[in-house]
Amino acid sequence: MSGTLIAFEGTDGSGKSTQFGRFCRRLDTMGREYRNLVFPQYQEPSSALIRMYLGGEFGSHPQDVNAYAASAFYAVDRYASLKKVWGNYYAQGGLVVTDRYTTSNAVHQAVKCPAEERPAFFAWLDDFEHNKLGLPRPSLVLYLDMPTAKAVELLRAREEQTHTHADIHELDTGYLASCRECALQAAQALGWKVIPCMEGERLRDIEEIHEEIWSLAAPLL
């Protein structure tokens, strides 16, 4: 027996974490048992290489670490979580909801590959993370699609409000634009559900987006 895994995905500035939190609160309200996970696990030792990478210790640009090496950093962190936190619960039929998952490598690392090489990279990722490491494949991937210019605007506003600094991914606007292009390619290739965050020039309301997400996830709950 295996459980259900719903993954929230999106480029930086897409509102993904907001929607993840809103979804979990609704599960709480309805009394549905579940486990929620946020990746990477920055407070855990398993994320050490990720923190070094994002902090620029291996180079100041994302491309300074190749897609395969960087993917391994993130995959090992997820593997540690599976073994320590949620693997048994999932195996017994539990519901797991994640903010980022194996899907993130298909966005933020596949972008380092030329477009014509990405299908092969997606296949490598699937084999490495799901077959070799044994991480469960998601039952549903919800990709929040935000145009890059708007995402950057929201990221900069967040920095000012929280007095935080962007990591090397968030600082590179060209990289963010390429990630969005890659994510849409991955969504089509891998069967993700794409949730538009804008309607023309209008930024969609948080609750409006949530209701669309809920309608897609409800059959699995």
CA distance 177 to 113: 14
Sheet holding 95-99, edge to edge: 35-38, 95-99, 4-10, 140-145, 193-196
84 and 103 in contact (C-beta within 8 Å)?
A: no
Residue 79 DSSP class:
H
The neighbour count for residue 107, using CB atoms within 10 Å, is 25
Domains in the chain: ranges and CATH: 4-220 (3.40.50.300)
Specify the pTM. 0.89
What's the pLDDT at 168? 45
What angle in degrees, to the nearest 10, is found between the helix axes of 148-162 and 173-190?
A: 120
**How confident is the prediction along the chain (221 residues), in pLDDT tens digits per residue?**
689 999 999 987 788 999 999 999 999 999 999 999 999 999 999 999 999 999 999 998 888 999 999 999 999 999 999 999 999 999 999 999 999 999 999 998 998 999 899 999 999 999 999 999 999 999 999 999 988 887 777 677 655 665 445 444 455 677 888 888 999 999 999 999 999 998 988 989 999 999 999 999 999 99
- Reduce the DSSP state of residue 139 to 3 states and report it: coil
The neighbour count for residue 156, using CB atoms within 10 Å, is 13
What's the pLDDT at 15? 87
What's the pLDDT at 13? 77
What's the pLDDT at 74? 98
